[in-house]
Structure 1
Amino acid sequence: MIRKSPVCIAAVLIVSFISLTSAESPLKTNLPEPGQCGNVIKNRIKGDNVTKLDEYPWMALIEYAKEDGNSTGHRCSGNLINNRYVLTVAHCINGIPKTWKPYRVRLGEWDTTTDPDCDRDTQNNSEVCADPHVDVTIEKVTVHEKYNSSLKSQPNNIALIRLSRNVDYTDFIRPICLPLKDTLKQSTFDGNKMEVSGWRQLGRKTSSNIKLKAEVPVVPLSECQSVYSKHNVDLGTSHICSGNDFCRSESGGPLMGLDSLNKDQLYYYIAGLFSIAPSSCELEGWPNVYTKVSDYVDWIEQNIEA
């Protein structure tokens, strides 16, 4: 948190609710390929802020436990990238109270108040239900070795969570693709429209127990830096910024882009991990800041165990 400024680092967890492979880039690890990851649902409704039951099935909630064993609830988000690993931000591991520890990950969640989750199919006028959510304990966490939680800009704000077991893929639990293609690694994404999702807040001071979504524009880094530098936050090329239409999302939540596997099939890749945001939803012109995942693909591959 920056004293006396309208900026907050998303590492302030206790105040938040859940605060290709490609010929261009051969895989060195067991990461899924497009077609196996980043699935785009067919009945997706653009412009609707409420997700479908099976939309963004890679999104995860991270639960923490106190020293006495009691749960603190879900305070961060993550993103399933294969059947054993969840990608999140480092401050969800190193920026938590000393008496907390990451305990387990929830997958297949949609409505945090129900299990199983059900929704109304308006076309058929019937109720459709998802599988029960799945809670998996955490075996190991790996934080980027150059992450420094004391820096306001939160560089290298990225971490891997290894689950205690492999998870089975279903319609409601599937991984998102990493930006492995050279064209994605080299892109600034300036001017692109991307998508964000989470359970925190949408727009102006509204909240929901149901997973929400929004489309946001990517803001050029120079424009973003000109805003944050006024409050001594020095952003770099390992950051990516977006409009703050989706207000105060969970730490570690995804900034998602769409790419094409072929002319008939799109897939989602994870472009960013939510890291820094304005401290108030009322502030105009303050972008949200994400860790730029394409800068850390090599680090991810090097730190994933078979």
Structure 2
Amino acid sequence: MSITAAMVKELRETTGAGMMDAKKALTEVNGDMEAAIDWLRTKGLAKAAKKADRVAAEGLVGVAVAAGKGVAVEINSETDFVAKNADFQALVRDIAGVALEVGGSVEAVKAANLNGKTVEDTLTAAIATIGEKMDFRRFVSIEGDTVVSYVHNAATEGMGKIGVLVALKGDAAKALEIGKQFAMHIAATSPLSLSEATLDPAIVERELQVQTAKALEENASSDKPKPEQVIHNNIIPGRMKKFLAENTLLGQAFVINPDLTVEAAAKEAGVEITSFARVAVGEGIEKKEEDFAAEVAKTLSGG
């Protein structure tokens, strides 16, 4: 497969690897971007990258909570300027309210009534008025005894670039108080799942493969190699334990008090986190390819 300048650029932006390392990684894995990330990590040339690091879009996330239920909706726009528009913000607020009431799917919300028209028709009219393409892309909902919301980089009340919902069990007053702190923590750390039990097995398996290959390669090049039994029984499990602690909400060190895990902080407060959702603007929308610098083109051509 031909390795293009745009592919090298994307890999560099995703991993922070050098130009030649990115090119070599893509060449080694025949252009497979995910495999190239793993190859660089195996060589110690890149950190794990989440998909949110490789996306770009504008718009707002709006949140709404009532009676033990919360929703977060993502409405995209072409420019950040529109996200600051009062009419656009009102639209996001209205759609979040309909989503909270209707639930179901994006299609169900689009078909629901909003001031005498469907949400979809209202959005179409707003596009004509504001003069920029917009899209009601997705929404998530959670339920619980107490549901708390938080918006990071708020454009106005209830909407911003990142929306977080947290569901908790326990005393409602305590859940509301510490739930806000947990929501802020989630916005900052972007955990992959609530716990190890809810983490996608494919993610765990992929990380295990990377850490195994990395540990074996490091050991092979060491002046004092360790027995393979030590590698498999101590080093790799230790690294996987760290990965799970860093990427599951309950296992993470609580940002408000790093001496406690989130799970321990919740227990200390007499509450239990049952679920959460984090929605960031542009998550999952791939960046558009851009023209690459002349030096990259020269590198790829072997010059």
TM-score (norm 2): 0.24
Greater gyration radius = 2
The structure with more strand, counted as a fraction of residues: 1
